[in-house]
Amino acid sequence: MSAAPRYREYRCPCAASVVALTGEGRQRAEIVNVSSTGARLSGAAGLEEGATLRLEIMAGMEPLKAEVRWVRGPLAGLRFARPLGPAMIARLRGVAGAAPARPWSPRAAGAREWR
Spell out the domains of the chain, with CATH numbers in brackets: 19-93 (2.40.10.220)
Q: Which stretches of 35-93 are assigned E, i.e. beta strand?
A: 38-42, 52-56, 64-72, 75-80
C-alpha radius of gyration, the chain, whole number: 16
For residues 76 and 68, what is the distance between their CA atoms, to the nearest angstrom? 7
User: How confident is the prediction along the chain (115 residues), in pLDDT tens digits per residue?
Assistant: 556 566 667 888 999 999 999 988 999 999 999 999 999 999 989 999 999 999 998 878 899 999 999 999 999 999 999 999 998 888 888 854 444 444 545 554 444 444 4
